[in-house]
Structure 1
Amino acid sequence: MNFHKIVELEKYLDVAHHIPGRIRVKFSPLILTRPAALAAMKEHTELPEAIKEARVNMSARSVVIEYDPEEISPELIEELIQGKDKENKAQIISDLYGKLMKNAS
């Protein structure tokens, strides 16, 4: 999943289960009416090394993301998905992207 798309998709997402290193996010069936949003859920082109795997399960309407909790703070992941402050989310995404992509080089 493209980190930059998370803020755009927030109204469709809800954390179902989260332990450090693994988060399962449920998405609303309404996402199916938005082809661009659905495509963003399936996009894996910008995943940094700290994201070990991202799987979309359409029948369960969920996404499971496995990540390195030493590289990505579990609290930041929850804030990205459930936080209310869009400016804060944008800053988190920018900071994470900068850190993770720098570590990938």
Structure 2
Amino acid sequence: MDLELLLELRNYISICGHTPGKLKLKFGLGVVRNPKVIRYVKVNGFGPPKGESMPGIIKTTFNPLSRSMTIRYDKDVIRPELLHKLFICKNPDEFEDIAGQLASTVNFDLAAFCN
């Protein structure tokens, strides 16, 4: 996946609920029908790329019937307001900046996710 695709997919993702440590997202059909997303999920599941860990992410679960995902994360590692902002910002430059900040905060190689 690449940042441009992730930014585009955000048009089909909404936040259902967010308390520090738990973020619940709802996916529109534009996400679940996207061929790049389907390929990614077949290889990696609903988490980080296979073989990569994403520090601060405790667990992800996906409910295909409701097309929702719950992300449990360590609120002491990932700033809740920054994660929230990632899913609501509209500006591509702001999105890239926030993604970079989050990756830097948890010492995650964003390039591994974007390939």
Which structure 1 segments of 5+ residues have no match?
Answer: none
Query: What is the Cα-based RMSD across aligned positions, in Å?
Result: 2.3
Q: Distance in 1 between matches of 2:30 and 2:2?
A: 20
Q: Which moved more, 1:90-99 or 1:33-42?
A: 33-42
Gaps of 5+ in 2: 109-115
Q: Percent identity?
A: 25
Deviation at 1:89, TM superposition (A): 1.3
Aligned to 1:17, what secondary structure does the other structure show? strand
TM-score, normalization by structure 2: 0.74
Corresponding residue pairs, total: 101
TM-score by length of structure 1 reads 0.80
Question: What is the Cα deviation at residue 80 of structure 1?
Answer: 0.5
- Is the 1:51–1:65 Cα contact (8 Å) retained in structure 2? yes
CA-to-aligned-CA distance 1:33-53 (integer Å, 9 cap, x gap): 212124446243244220001
Q: Distance between the aligned counterparts of 1:3 and 1:81, measured in 2?
A: 15
- The correspondence for 1:99, drawn from 97, 100, 105, is 105
Q: How many angstroms apart in 2 are the aligned matches of 1:57 and 1:10?
A: 18
